[in-house]
């Protein structure tokens, strides 16, 4: 007999293949057994343990959508199941993984030379080489096309560019070995991608200070990338891609992963709020779950989460068939981040004063989900991307 499952209200599992279900199961088990026990202390100490990426690499969870070079080559939806499992624990852990898998490995896979791919991807898939993606600058966030970072022929080293500029709010930058930096080539004024390898940078040409005392995403490490005439071999530039198409193509995959990831965070909020509402009693010994206002909060969140998950699965399938557009990805990234944040804020109310204690986890999700709504295109920016596609008129400036 078919029964209603509050944890999967619209039976999205029916849309997954056996392989996708198995990957989801492996990822969920790892995340619940090995990540969850560490997250509270990591968040309190604002400490990111890079070993996490190595552990994920051992399970084949890094760059999982990519073909070859030590990567698993699974479907886009299976990749989404991985981000959902990780973000059920913490958006910061998913961030560290998204940057490694989608933004840096994905960028090298799509735009790198054969030499770059063979040298870097297998070690990145194992989590032994860590990546960071530098697009945002102190003066240019939503509008990266105006970036000031510049690459010009190196004055003394033949066959090298000299990179100068500053990137900020860069996930993983303080611990990254390979920094994918987007900068304008002085000769053409066009944006190009450069693989800056920390081990090869002379002292004083690269620094990556951490940004401390964050009030969200504290289990992820964030920093700057400061380049001062840093020599980078010409062979480390992506050969063919120029303009914003380069970074935005990497963002398509990462934004997809976020759309499914934030549904994992919201599912965790729903499960924790439901348990709390069933256990906590107020007024004549009744559990909070007996009250209609509490039930509505849970019903709203479960509905948005089920709809968001189905939408992500649909776009994931279209992506693998080559039929997804960037606007579809903007739509699910915006909608799922907005609904996850809005519902998490409402579910937080169920915990009353206890929500203020980190032991209940809900406050951490709320703080993290603010960041997910902001990075990889703030929600209003995605509204403008959609508005442009609907009207044909661009409203950015």
Look at residue 202 and give the partner it binds from ligand FAD, ligand TGC, none, a contact being a CB closer than 5 to 8 Å depending on partner kind.
none
Structure-token pair, residue 253: 């995959």
Find residue 344's DSSP bridge partners: none
Q: Shortest gap between Cβ of 7 and ligand TGC (angstroms)?
A: 25
Nearer to ligand FAD, 60 or 246 (CB): 246
Q: Which residue is nearest to ligand FAD (CB)?
A: 141
SS (H, E, C) the chain: CCCCCCCCCCCHHHHCCHHHHHHHHHHHHHHHHHHHHHHHHHHHHCCCCCHHHHHHHHCCCCCCCCEECCEECCCHHHHHHHHHHHHHHCHHHHHHHHHHHHHHHHHHHHHCCHHHHHHHHHHHHCCCCCEEEECCECCECCCHHHCCCEEEECCCCCCEEEEEEEEEEEECHHHCCEEEEEEEECCCCCEEEEEEEHHHCCCCCEECCECCCCCCCCCCCEEEEEEEEEEEEHHHECCCCCCCHHHHHHHHHHHHHHHHHHHHHHHHHHHHHHHHHHHCECCCCCEHHHCHHHHHHHHHHHHHHHHHHHHHHHHHHHHHCCCCCHHHHHHHHHHHHHHHHHHHHHHHHHHHHHHHCHHHCHHHHHHHHHHHHHCCCCHHHHHHHHHHHHHCCCCCC
Look at residue 244 and give the partner it binds from ligand FAD, ligand TGC, none, a contact being a CB closer than 5 to 8 Å depending on partner kind.
ligand TGC
Q: Shortest gap between Cβ of 319 and ligand FAD (angstroms)?
A: 21
Q: Catalytic annotation on 376?
A: yes
Q: Shortest gap between Cβ of 50 and ligand FAD (angstroms)?
A: 15
* Site residues (CB under 6 A) for ligand TGC, limited to 131-190: 133, 135-136, 142-145, 171
Look at residue 6 and give the partner it binds from ligand TGC, ligand FAD, none, a contact being a CB closer than 5 to 8 Å depending on partner kind.
none
Look at residue 134 and give the partner it binds from ligand FAD, ligand TGC, none, a contact being a CB closer than 5 to 8 Å depending on partner kind.
ligand FAD
Binding site residues, ligand FAD, CB under 6 A: 99, 133-136, 141-142, 169-171, 217, 222, 371, 374-376, 378, 380-381, 396
Q: Shortest gap between Cβ of 141 and ligand FAD (angstroms)?
A: 2
Look at residue 98 and give the partner it binds from ligand TGC, ligand FAD, none, a contact being a CB closer than 5 to 8 Å depending on partner kind.
ligand TGC
* Site residues (CB under 6 A) for ligand TGC, limited to 302-331: 326
Rounded CA separation 321/246 (Å): 21
Interface pattern 240-279 for ligand TGC (x via CB under 6 A): ---xxx--xx-xx---------------------------
Examine residue 76 and tell whether it contacts ligand TGC (CB under 6 A): no
The residue assigned the tokens 């994931």 is: 316
Q: Shortest gap between Cβ of 259 and ligand FAD (angstroms)?
A: 16
Q: How many CA atoms lie within 13 A of 17 on its CB side?
A: 10
Look at residue 236 and give the partner it binds from ligand TGC, ligand FAD, none, a contact being a CB closer than 5 to 8 Å depending on partner kind.
none
Q: At 201, phi and psi to the nearest 5?
A: -90, 125
Query: Which range touches ligand TGC (CB under 6 A), out of 14-22, 82-90, 239-247, 289-297?
Result: 239-247
Site size toward ligand TGC, by CB under 6 A: 25
Q: Shortest gap between Cβ of 385 and ligand TGC (angstroms)?
A: 5
Q: Which of 71, 99, 206, 362 binds ligand TGC (CB under 6 A)?
A: 99
**Hey, which residues are catalytic here?**
376
Applying CB under 6 A, the residues found at the interface with ligand TGC are 95, 98-99, 133, 135-136, 142-145, 171, 243-245, 248-249, 251-252, 326, 375-377, 381, 385, 396
């Amino acid at each position: 007999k078919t029964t209603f499952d509050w944890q999967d209200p619209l039976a999205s599992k029916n849309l997954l293949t056996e392989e996708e279900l198995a990957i989801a199961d492996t990822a969920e088990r790892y995340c619940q057994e090995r990540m969850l026990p560490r997250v509270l202390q990591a968040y309190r100490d604002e400490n990111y343990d890079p070993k996490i990426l190595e552990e994920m690499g051992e399970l084949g969870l890094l760059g999982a959508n990519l073909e070859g070079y030590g990567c698993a080559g699974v479907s886009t939806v299976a990749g989404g199941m991985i981000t959902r499992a990780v973000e059920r624990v913490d958006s910061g852990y998913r961030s560290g993984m998204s940057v490694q898998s989608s933004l840096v490995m994905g960028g090298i896979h799509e735009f790198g030379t054969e030499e770059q791919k063979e040298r870097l991807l297998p070690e990145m898939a194992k989590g032994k080489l860590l990546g960071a993606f530098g697009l945002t600058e102190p003066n240019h966030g939503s509008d990266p096309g105006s970036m000031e970072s510049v690459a010009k022929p190196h004055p003394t080293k033949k066959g090298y560019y000299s990179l100068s500029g500053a990137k900020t709010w860069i996930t993983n930058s303080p611990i990254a070995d390979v920094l994918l930096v987007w900068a304008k080539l002085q000769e053409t004024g066009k944006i190009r991608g450069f693989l800056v390898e920390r081990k090869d940078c002379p002292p004083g040409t690269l620094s990556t200070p951490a940004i401390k005392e964050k009030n969200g995403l504290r289990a992820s490490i964030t920093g700057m990338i400061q380049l001062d005439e840093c020599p980078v071999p010409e062979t480390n530039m992506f050969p063919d891609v120029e303009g914003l198409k380069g970074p935005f193509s990497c963002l398509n995959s990462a934004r997809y992963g976020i759309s499914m990831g934030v549904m994992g965070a919201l599912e965790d909020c729903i499960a924790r709020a439901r348990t709390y509402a069933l256990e906590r009693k107020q007024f004549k010994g009744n559990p909070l779950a007996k009250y209609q206002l509490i039930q509505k909060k849970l019903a709203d969140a479960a509905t948005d989460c089920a709809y968001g998950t189905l939408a992500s699965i649909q776009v994931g399938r279209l992506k693998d068939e080559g039929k997804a557009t960037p606007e579809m990805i903007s739509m699910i990234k915006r909608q799922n981040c907005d609904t996850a944040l809005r519902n998490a804020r409402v579910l937080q109310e169920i915990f009353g004063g206890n929500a203020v204690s980190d032991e209940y986890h809900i406050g951490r999700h709320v703080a993290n989900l603010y960041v997910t709504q902001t990075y990889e295109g703030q929600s209003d920016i995605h509204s403008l991307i959609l508005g442009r596609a609907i009207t044909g008129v661009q409203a950015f400036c």
